[in-house]
Structure 1
Amino acid sequence: MRRLANAVIAGVTVVALCSGAWLLRSGTASHAPPQPSAAQAHSRSSGSSGTSSGWGDDGSAAAALPASPPVRIRVPSLRVDAPLMGLGLTPTGSLDVPPAERKNLAGWYEAGTTPGERGTAIVAGHVDNADGAAVFYRLGALRRGATIEVDRWDGGTALFTVDAVEVYDARDFPDEKVYGAAPRPELRVITCGGGYSRATGYRGNVVVFAHLTGSRVASLTGSRDSNRAD
């Protein structure tokens, strides 16, 4: 059911997140967000291992965590530290989005997999709003091997390692590759990207592919103990 729910939003996330209000007001020259380079793309053929992202169990993946809603996402290398809200579908069937005026707020698709649980979890956020850069403005600058931390309602933190950062045109968005089911805990972080048109806004999406490589659990003293895959 969660795989079906993920597939439902495959064709609408691009539209919902990509108005580009800041660039529309200010022009593209000085405010265009960074875009991923070819060096950050997948290094293996997608689907070669039977997973949505193209990676099999190479020993780096940590064991799946129990389901628990996420409450916060951090990307230390980009200085992202933002609360997460649950996202559903609008009456027209498109993915809802965080309020544009709250630029440091991201959302997760709460009808799907929770981050750290087995399967593909989805986090999305704006690249900008009418006033300037938003939570995922620098997502395209993320590099393979970077860490993404997701705090969960159960008090633990799921630790993900970035496998690839890619940009897709809306007309060629690879639904199954991004939203498809995975046999291990994986994460997708999505925002606007690609070319920009003053008439239509951003033409595509930046997508980060990551998988679970560890976790932290809150101790009785309030400190955290690491549990990473070897």
Structure 2
Amino acid sequence: MRNGSGPKPEAAPPRRVPSVKALACTTLLGIALLAHVSDGDASRKPTTAQASPPLARPAAGPERDRSGPRPLPASDAARLRITDIGVDVSLIPLELDGAGALRPPPATAPTVAGWYADGTAPGAPGTAVVAGHVDTPLGPAVFHRLDSLSRGAGIEIVRVDGRTALFTVDAVELHAKDRFPEDKVYGGSGRPELRLITCGGDWSSDTGYGANTVVYATLTGTR
């Protein structure tokens, strides 16, 4: 994120979800990364909030229409397109480290974003998570303009199976890293949803960014 980076719906075993601090921005070698901060909570274990929640569970994100397109089967994600902010980049798989924090894309590759590959596949029922840098020492990065997205903007994720999941933005919110709403961000209604996450808020040379920008989106079409 600025100076660094932000952080299948089958009847499969529950997926691991990044812990509440996994998307808190801190500074490492001058680069603000998605990582745990040294606040005594680094040992918090991942929850199962991202594992296909029951269909009867209330939506954890912004209110939305319950109707929608038929969900897609599980498939890896390959590319992210957001026309409104000029994003058209490759997606790489991201995983959790031993502490349950989401490993961010490499700071040396500011023009790529990553998706949490052990979580929900984009377009499948549940909440898919995509993370990327705002900027790095190399300059503005893939999510440099993420906070300028508005409700109704379109997001496309091209999948390895050749299908494209079309999402519509419901809301864009800024969450302080010490009050990160884990259930709201990672939870869902059982329908296909998407979260785009990067760093945001004020930046400090000592602690990095103080918040995360989170985009909430819902599947509204496929092709």
Could you say which TM-score interval applies, normalised by the shorter chain?
0.7 to 0.9
* Paired residues of 1:21 and 1:129 also in contact (CA < 8 A): no
1:64-75 paired onto structure 2 within 5 Å: 64-75=71-82
Structure 2, unpaired ranges of 5+: 1-11, 33-56
Q: Which residue of 2 aligns with 1:53?
A: 61
1:156-195 paired onto structure 2 within 5 Å: 156-195=163-202
1:34-113 paired onto structure 2 within 5 Å: 50-59=58-67, 61-113=68-120
Structure 1, unpaired ranges of 5+: 24-48, 217-230
- 1:161 alignment partner AA: T
State the alpha-carbon separation in 1 of the partners of residues 103 and 134 from structure 2: 15
- Give the share of equivalent positions with the same residue, in percent: 46
Query: What secondary structure is seen at the aligned counterpart in 2 of 1:190?
Result: strand
Cα 1:20/1:187, change in 2 over 3 Å: farther
Cα 1:2/1:79, change in 2 over 3 Å: farther
State the alpha-carbon separation in 2 of the partners of residues 125 and 76 from structure 1: 16
State the alpha-carbon separation in 2 of the partners of residues 88 and 106 from structure 1: 13
Superposition TM-score, scaled by structure 1 size: 0.76
Q: Which residue of 2 aligns with 1:152?
A: 159
| 1:15 and 2:28 correspond | no
Cα 1:19/1:73, change in 2 over 3 Å: farther
State the alpha-carbon separation in 1 of the partners of residues 100 and 165 from structure 2: 29
* Paired residues of 2:64 and 2:170 also in contact (CA < 8 A): no
* Paired residues of 1:22 and 1:132 also in contact (CA < 8 A): no
Query: Which residue among 141, 144, 147 is the counterpart of 1:134?
Result: 141
1:69-99 deviation digits (Å, cap 9, x = unpaired): 1100000000001100101111333111111
Q: Which residue of 1 aligns with 2:121?
A: 114
Q: Which residue of 2 aligns with 1:29?
A: none
Q: Which protein is bigger by CA-based radius of gyration? A: 1
| 1:123 and 2:133 correspond | no
Q: 1:56 Cα deviation (Å)?
A: 4.7
* Paired residues of 1:68 and 1:114 also in contact (CA < 8 A): yes
